[in-house]
Structure 1
Amino acid sequence: MLHLESSGEFWDVVPPYFHALEDVFSKASFDSLHAIELLPYSTLSSCKVYPLAFREQGKLDAFLQENLDSSCICPSKSPMASPVFFIKEKDGLLQLVQDYQVLNAIMMKNCCTFTLIFKLINNLQGAQYFTKLDVQEGDKWKATFQTNQELFELLIMFFGLTNSPANFQTMMNNIIAEGIVPTAYLANPATERARYQYNQDKEMTVLRFDDINGNTRGLLSFFPVHGMSLYENNTLVSTDNKGMAAFLYESFVEPSAMPGNTTFVAGFTQSNVGDTSPNTLGAFCESPGKAKQFEAARTVMNGARSPVNGTVRSVHIYVNMSTHSFTLPNGTTVSNCSDGPGAFDFVQGDNSSDTQNPFWELVKGAITPLPSAAQVACQFPKPILLNTVLLKGYAHIPYDWAPSTVDVQMLRVGNFVMLIMPGTLDTYIDKYSSLVPFLADNATGTPPSDLAPVDQTSKVISLQHGVLFDSAPFEKTFGTVLVDVNTTPYHAGDVVSAQFVGANPRNNLRLESTFLTVDRLVDGQWKAVRSDSHPSTTYQWILGTSTVTITWTIESGTPFGTYRLSYFGDSKPVIGSISSFSGISSSFTVS
């Protein structure tokens, strides 16, 4: 993709028949360069050179010359490289292969959802010109490949890279489908979608907090994005990408502070969630080293901002949504109509009100109350599987499935006002209008409120039994080191590991503490520098053998010195109470 900075440059470089497409070539209108983002603490590696037969050498020379002439590759001095070799296809022709297996293993995975091909093809009707996708500046050296002549790096995206199909799909979603991910948004009426500039909300708002001396002490960001991220291979579910963004920002401001012990506080809050997914450019598998919300907040914090100052006031009420109704500006009285969950063969995007599965039609009445005619009409044409109906509270056995009474809060900081509540836009407007007078400087009294919801905690049913007891191996005690650290020095990128006799972590979840620390010897005293809340550490407990393995991946920039790993646990005897213990590895050196 050719990107040009100025209009004059465009007219000089681009052929006349492309002049009508000037906006397509601008950097401002296209940001989907192919990024090669490595996992934190990855180790760079080189590779061997494969010998080539005479015929293969000729093919390689032709490939290199063709791609050099077309500016698809260029010579490189990269510190890492991937090998190349030839494979013979079924027709006998030779195919050059860049073997990116090692590189792909240390790349952050992009799990972009793939739009149905026929949808994209329909949107390509009438297209005349197509383009290639460039590798992002600063990442080109990472995809360098080694030949028997010299090193070459990619200038455009090759499909041997792990994220190439996903990034290509993202590009198609952005250009062809106008950035629609997920495609469910297209099911909304055209009149609804026409009200917005984009098919996704791309705006982040950040409120910065300064102390009386003008020093920045924290931020509160607002962005509509689903809080859960799921890896494509289902090996990890992260339920708090906003929490990770907060950690990244706080550690960026105070890199030497332990998580949760910073003087700068970063808050990444939810905004107006409608059609949201974890990323506006597709479902990316985020590693701890990168978070788009963190980067976006940094951009906003460094940009122009409007001052916020004045009175701080708040208001809080409860609203029983099962009985709540209000009047629209046109005089119509309405109430909330909330979705229940879809499952099994209730197909996404299918608005059929016909029976989807006779089995569920038979048994759903035994699980939740059958929907009333008013509910069916409210959800039409969508069918109702389970009549839990969020905010309405129709299912109460064995306890309430969903809340019917919700919190409504408003906070005013000078000329900045926040409304926090579930519901639709019309509900927001109605509540905002009724509550905002109580935020005035001279306001008195409190607004009417429904009763607070009943606490359901004591009614929760758990099928998980408690810990029976813990048992250490013969002649071993809890905390004993089974596999110790190495005696040879470690370096940045290395993984330090130690295994201990452990106990069930459910004995004490240590929510305000830690299962481990990485300690550094400073002036003769051990100082904890990492805990289990830091992305560079892992804690693994294995049921049965009851062993605990602690690892620490040494980050770049870690101070040289003497370190150790400490493990903290709690054991439960057959008779008696739970007691705490600890284990400490031998000291090791980082150099």
Structure 2
Amino acid sequence: MSEHDHQQFRSTHVSRRRVLAGGVVVGAVAATGALFPGLSAALPAGGAAMLVGRGIGDSTGEPLGAGMNGYAVPAQSSAGLHLRQRARAFVFAQSPDGPRFAHVTVEIGLMFESIFQEVLRRLQARFPGVYHQGNVLLAATHTHSAPGGTDGHLLVDITTFGFRPATFESNVAGIVDAIERAHRDLAPSEVAMTRGQLDDAGVNRSPKAFDRDPAADKAPFPLKIDPNSVNLQITRGGKLVGVINWFATHGTSMPPTNLLSSSDNKGYAALRWERAAGVDYTSHASPALVTAFSQSTPGDVTPNLDRMPGTGPTDDAFANTRIIGERQYEAASRQVGVGARPIAGAIDVRWKYVDMSAVTVRSQYTGDGRTHHTTPAMLGAAFAASSQEDGGGMPELGLNEGERGGNPWVRKVNEVVVPDWLKREQAPKDILLPVGLVPGTVQQQLPFYLVRLGDTYLFACGFEPTVVAGLRLRRGLAATLGVPVEHVVVQGYTNSYGHYLTTPEEYENQDYEGGATVFGKWQLPAVQQIADELAVAMRSGKPVAPGRTDGDLTGKLPAAPVGNAFVDVAAPGTAYGQLLTPVADTVRRGGMARARFSGANPNNNLRRDDTYLTVERRDGDRWVRVADDSDWATKIYFDNAGPVTTTTITWDVPANTALGRYRVTYRGDSRTLDGRTTPFSGLSNEFTVTA
């Protein structure tokens, strides 16, 4: 079904509140060999192996009535499900009782301190002293079509009308499941880095800002994007069992008008590779392959190749999501084993929280020979204008990015009301929202990490760095650590969210990215200074003071008053699960099978590690599952009117589908006024797939 077709399923929806699980405060830092009996003997003598574990968890949020993170469009409220969101975890351990760290790629819009702290509490309860604030990295893929309402700070949750406990719980539980499964999967493995190039999965959305950068910074990027596709590949006995891929492109192939929950292009890439390897997401068995498509530094890169929302390389957003995802998958899979650089040796981490609202940036980092300062977070008018290439924001305000003329009237107001010290460090930003002056609105104490895996280094932060900002960080770290630039990876969207990170030159243009570089023109030099301090400490073997967090605000914001399930009523004259509209008797390959059922609010049970639907083929006397709601070819829509929900399931019949008899099943849970839920199921008519 096209994006246009599914608009008919829009309505006001409700979701169910859930009680959040608690935990204990994070404690010690080292793992113990007693947790992994026998693994020491399993390590190859003199080999290059380390212990690696892999795990996948289901983190899908509420598919009905939940505002989505990313576009800041209140009308973008979930009305169904296309691609489930998953967390993919890798645990790396130097030895059973040695240093370790967990890397998790989560298919959500943004990563927040609220999620991070709750994950840590639960891990500490399950694995005391093993996983903690200094060795767990949670990275968002930045899909703009995943249910939100999970921040502990006010600003982002405003667009989702408040906190959403059920989605928060699913995000956290899915991440913890993934890490637990990776923990159990720890085994001797070979780790290597590979590099490839991908030129046609993104374009620069702020080329005039990019053009302000020095020639030496632009030279590696003739197309104004970062073409590097970097794999961390894990093999066991010569067989590929895991990949973390870093590539820079936004999770905005699906536009702000999309109402189906989706993991966007990076989610498709992971699904494509894992399904080809036979991964069954409803099975708790260790998967044959885990592929995580993580973000690197995509701050100024859009996947919309025609530089308009939902366009390029076609005019169909669903097709574009698949194509851009397919290109990332192909680039990553092509480079497996090609020029692989083995990684072995020490695992080390340096990390700290920094108050980004008050960093004194030394002259050696500023580039102009003078000392400068960051300020409390300020959002510019260009932020509210949003990126016209991706959509979203508040166009009704009539605001513009710098390359489209800027905002003179905001500038005039700033001349009167903004203090000189703030104007000096934030100039030339037209300040619209002084969010850093209102406690609890945005996170300002932000964490930074430098992880060493042998001779490879990962720098992680909560910003959205542009491609040149990422290059400067890689170059600076490489120089301090004494390694080639290619041995350094920079990853944003990790353990927090602090908006954008531009170079001072790009900041001057005040496009969307500069308007959202909240701590001012000198924010990148401040981060370069922080990264250098972590690198010096790691190089010298010295500890780093951890700093302090903003404090845990989980659940302190009011729960969203909209989209909450309270009671279900079957469609008049029907029972739950009853077929309302049957599938056509005959459906051709390449056609669509569609069935409509009397349903219930799907938020009653998010069916993690399960499915709302199946497509089954008759095989003699039994029915064999050929697709479920984890597959690209299926979509499920929920049309909600008060307590009554009707459910439509579609299946785009693949061209290679076996001919024969098929049926569609639907699974749901109804809720009574006192909160009790009862499972039910629905079954379509049998239909024939023909050539």
Question: Match of 2:534, SS?
Answer: helix
User: 2 CA distance for matches of 1:260 and 1:293?
Assistant: 26
1:208-219 to structure 2, matched below 5 A, reads 208-219=232-243
**Residue 339 (structure 2) aligns with:** 304
* Greater Cα shift, 408-417 or 514-523: 514-523
User: 1 CA distance for matches of 2:425 and 2:283?
Assistant: 46
- Preserved contact between residue 599 and residue 645 of structure 2 (Cα < 8 Å): yes
Q: Does 1:447 align with 2:486?
A: no
User: 1 CA distance for matches of 2:378 and 2:328?
Assistant: 28
**Residue 398 (structure 2) aligns with:** 345
- Preserved contact between residue 591 and residue 652 of structure 2 (Cα < 8 Å): yes
**Residue 373 (structure 1) aligns with:** 420
User: 2 CA distance for matches of 1:229 and 1:469?
Assistant: 35
Residue type at the aligned position of 1:377: R
Q: 534, 539, 544: which one pairs with 2:631?
A: 534
Give a deviation string over 1:70-126, Cα, whole Å, max 9, x none. xxxxxxxxxxxxxxxxxxxxxxxxxxxxxxxxxxxxxxxxxxxxxxxxxxxxxxxxx
Report the Cα offset of residue 320 of structure 1. Answer: 2.0
Hey, which of these two has a bigger chunk of strand by percent?
2
Give a deviation string over 1:518-541, Cα, whole Å, max 9, x none. 234457544433222212011112
**Residue 431 (structure 1) aligns with:** 530
User: 2 CA distance for matches of 1:427 and 1:378?
Assistant: 12
**Residue 373 (structure 2) aligns with:** 335
Question: Match of 2:401, SS?
Answer: coil
1:268-347 to structure 2, matched below 5 A, reads 268-279=293-304, 282=307, 284=312, 285=317, 287=319, 288-291=321-324, 292-301=327-336, 303-329=338-364, 332-336=370-374, 340-342=379-381, 343=384, 344-347=397-400
**Residue 415 (structure 1) aligns with:** 455
Q: 476, 480, 487: which one pairs with 2:574?
A: 476
**Residue 133 (structure 1) aligns with:** none
Report the Cα offset of residue 561 of structure 1. Answer: 4.5
User: 2 CA distance for matches of 1:480 and 1:553?
Assistant: 22
User: 1 CA distance for matches of 2:607 and 2:422?
Assistant: 45
Residue type at the aligned position of 2:532: S
Relative to structure 1, the CA distance from residue 533 to residue 336 in structure 2 (aligned partners, 3 Å threshold; closer, same or farther) is: farther
User: 2 CA distance for matches of 1:279 and 1:562?
Assistant: 39
- Preserved contact between residue 316 and residue 410 of structure 1 (Cα < 8 Å): yes
* Greater Cα shift, 301-310 or 240-249: 301-310
**Residue 395 (structure 1) aligns with:** 438
Residue type at the aligned position of 2:245: S
**Residue 356 (structure 1) aligns with:** 410
Question: Match of 1:318, SS?
Answer: strand
User: 2 CA distance for matches of 1:259 and 1:295?
Assistant: 25
- Preserved contact between residue 229 and residue 239 of structure 1 (Cα < 8 Å): no
Relative to structure 1, the CA distance from residue 311 to residue 239 in structure 2 (aligned partners, 3 Å threshold; closer, same or farther) is: same
User: 2 CA distance for matches of 1:180 and 1:548?
Assistant: 39
TM-score by length of structure 1 reads 0.59
Q: Does 1:206 align with 2:245?
A: no
**Residue 35 (structure 2) aligns with:** none
TM-score by length of structure 2 reads 0.51
Q: 451, 467, 487: which one pairs with 2:565?
A: 467
Give a deviation string over 1:532-552, Cα, whole Å, max 9, x none. 221201111222362211111
Residue type at the aligned position of 2:450: M
Relative to structure 1, the CA distance from residue 353 to residue 529 in structure 2 (aligned partners, 3 Å threshold; closer, same or farther) is: closer
Q: 495, 498, 504: which one pairs with 2:592?
A: 495
Which structure: larger Rg? Answer: 1
Relative to structure 1, the CA distance from residue 196 to residue 371 in structure 2 (aligned partners, 3 Å threshold; closer, same or farther) is: farther
Residue type at the aligned position of 2:664: L
**Residue 404 (structure 1) aligns with:** 444
User: 2 CA distance for matches of 1:525 and 1:186?
Assistant: 59
- Preserved contact between residue 411 and residue 417 of structure 1 (Cα < 8 Å): yes
Structure 1: 5+ residue stretches without partners: 1-38, 40-173
Relative to structure 1, the CA distance from residue 265 to residue 431 in structure 2 (aligned partners, 3 Å threshold; closer, same or farther) is: same
Question: Match of 2:431, SS?
Answer: coil
Relative to structure 1, the CA distance from residue 357 to residue 324 in structure 2 (aligned partners, 3 Å threshold; closer, same or farther) is: closer
1:509-520 to structure 2, matched below 5 A, reads 509-520=606-617
Q: 198, 201, 212: which one pairs with 1:188?
A: 212
Residue type at the aligned position of 1:382: K
Give a deviation string over 1:348-395, Cα, whole Å, max 9, x none. 11676843388xx59x99xxxx6432221122223111112xxxx322
- Preserved contact between residue 539 and residue 551 of structure 1 (Cα < 8 Å): yes
- Preserved contact between residue 351 and residue 534 of structure 2 (Cα < 8 Å): no
Give a deviation string over 1:173-232, Cα, whole Å, max 9, x none. x9xxxx864444366356686565425123223223233302111222222222223449
Residue type at the aligned position of 2:680: F
- Preserved contact between residue 639 and residue 646 of structure 2 (Cα < 8 Å): yes
Q: Does 1:226 align with 2:280?
A: no
Report the Cα offset of residue 474 of structure 1. Answer: 4.5
Relative to structure 1, the CA distance from residue 309 to residue 186 in structure 2 (aligned partners, 3 Å threshold; closer, same or farther) is: closer
Report the Cα offset of residue 583 of structure 1. Answer: 1.2
Relative to structure 1, the CA distance from residue 517 to residue 316 in structure 2 (aligned partners, 3 Å threshold; closer, same or farther) is: farther
**Residue 603 (structure 2) aligns with:** 506
Q: Which has the higher contact order (CA 8 A, sep 6+)?
A: 2
Relative to structure 1, the CA distance from residue 339 to residue 297 in structure 2 (aligned partners, 3 Å threshold; closer, same or farther) is: farther
Question: Match of 1:229, SS?
Answer: coil
Give a deviation string over 1:463-497, Cα, whole Å, max 9, x none. 31522322124442101112233444x44213222
Residue type at the aligned position of 2:640: L
Relative to structure 1, the CA distance from residue 561 to residue 255 in structure 2 (aligned partners, 3 Å threshold; closer, same or farther) is: farther
Report the Cα offset of residue 451 of structure 1. Answer: 1.5
Question: Match of 2:350, SS?
Answer: strand
Question: Match of 2:398, SS?
Answer: coil
- Preserved contact between residue 514 and residue 531 of structure 1 (Cα < 8 Å): yes
* Greater Cα shift, 209-218 or 515-524: 515-524
- Preserved contact between residue 565 and residue 601 of structure 2 (Cα < 8 Å): yes
- Preserved contact between residue 310 and residue 414 of structure 1 (Cα < 8 Å): yes
Q: What is the number of residues matched between the two proteins?
A: 398
1:8-27 to structure 2, matched below 5 A, reads none
- Identity, % of aligned pairs? 25
Report the Cα offset of residue 404 of structure 1. Answer: 0.4
- Preserved contact between residue 319 and residue 406 of structure 1 (Cα < 8 Å): yes
Report the Cα offset of residue 289 of structure 1. Answer: 3.5
Structure 2: 5+ residue stretches without partners: 3-198, 385-396, 464-500, 502-522
Report the Cα offset of residue 420 of structure 1. Answer: 0.3
Residue type at the aligned position of 1:336: T
Relative to structure 1, the CA distance from residue 238 to residue 572 in structure 2 (aligned partners, 3 Å threshold; closer, same or farther) is: closer
**Residue 572 (structure 1) aligns with:** 671
User: 2 CA distance for matches of 1:193 and 1:211?
Assistant: 35
- RMSD of equivalent CA atoms: 3.7
User: 2 CA distance for matches of 1:468 and 1:256?
Assistant: 36
Report the Cα offset of residue 504 of structure 1. Answer: 1.9
- Preserved contact between residue 358 and residue 374 of structure 2 (Cα < 8 Å): no
**Residue 433 (structure 2) aligns with:** 386
